[in-house]
Amino acid sequence: MTTTVLVAGIGNIFLGDDGFGPEVVRRLPRHPDPAVRVVDYGIRGMHLAYDLLDGWDALVLIDAVPNRGAPGSVRVFQAEPDGAGAANLDAHAMNPEAVFASVRALGGTLPPTYVVGCQVETVEEGMGLSEPVAAAVDTAISAVAEVLGSLSPDSTAASRGPEPAAVDGLSASNIRLAPGVLSAADVTLSANAESAASSRNEPPSAGREEE
């Protein structure tokens, strides 16, 4: 059976390192499996929410991670959002918590969600990634490939990853390391972090979609 996967790059390209997700998606090689769809959502949270209603088997979010670790550090983990978020979705903002809540409010079901995140150095206004974050793009591309490989129908249930790590953020009741990818015992993805996600109300980046 084919596994359908939505790979979503999110972030604001006008806020420095917050444009990490769109940059990774822009440079991802075209995936040979038509069941894998790669989209640069930028800060178009409503677009992502409606696309998630299509019933995907898995979601891979590529995003900037604030307030944890050395700039350029890539972390990969699985998030299981709780049901406490409010569906206050802005058509020109990207807040993962609000996106997930909106999907539920619209009657959709969230698929297993994997996060490939990179610690930012700066989210000041301006285009272009900082040196350490730009250097991490290739690492993130490899991490996305590892996650997609683990989600293929040929992968075994035993390879689905270790026990949950005790971390916070992304309205997550439980976050795990993604199977067979990068080691991370201490990670955070804060959907409401002041330095990044709360600033995602600038003009959206141009979306790139690969089908």
Question: So what's the pLDDT on residue 149?
Answer: 92
CB atoms within 10 A of CB 40: 27
CB 191 within 8 A of CB 197: yes
Q: Which amino acid is at 149?
A: G
Gap between the Cα atoms of 134 and 137, Å rounded = 6
Classify 64 in phi/psi space as left (phi over 0), alpha (psi -120 to 50) or beta. Answer: beta
| DSSP-assigned states of every residue in 4-47 | PEEEEEES-TTBGGGGHHHHHHHHSPPPS-TTEEEEEEET-HHH
Question: So what's the pLDDT on residue 154?
Answer: 73
Gap between the Cα atoms of 200 and 176, Å rounded = 26
CB 65 within 8 A of CB 187: yes
- Short-list 111, 68, 69, 101, CA closest to 171: 101
Question: So what's the pLDDT on residue 95?
Answer: 78
- Rg (the chain; Cα; Å): 15
**66 backbone dihedrals φ, ψ, rounded to 5°:** -95, 155
Question: So what's the pLDDT on residue 134?
Answer: 97
Give the mean pLDDT per block of 10 residues along the chain (211 residues): 90 95 96 94 93 96 85 88 58 75 91 94 94 96 95 59 31 36 34 42 46 41
Question: So what's the pLDDT on residue 128?
Answer: 96
Give, in degrees to the nearest 5, the angle at Cα 31 between 26 and 43: 35
Give, in degrees to the nearest 5, the angle at Cα 137 between 81 and 72: 75
Q: What's this model's pTM, rounded to 2 decimal places?
A: 0.74
Question: So what's the pLDDT on residue 81?
Answer: 64
Gap between the Cα atoms of 73 and 76, Å rounded = 10
Domains with residue ranges and CATH for the chain = 5-153 (3.40.50.1450)
Question: So what's the pLDDT on residue 131?
Answer: 97
For residue 194, what are the contacts with CB-CB under 8 A and spacing of at least 6? none
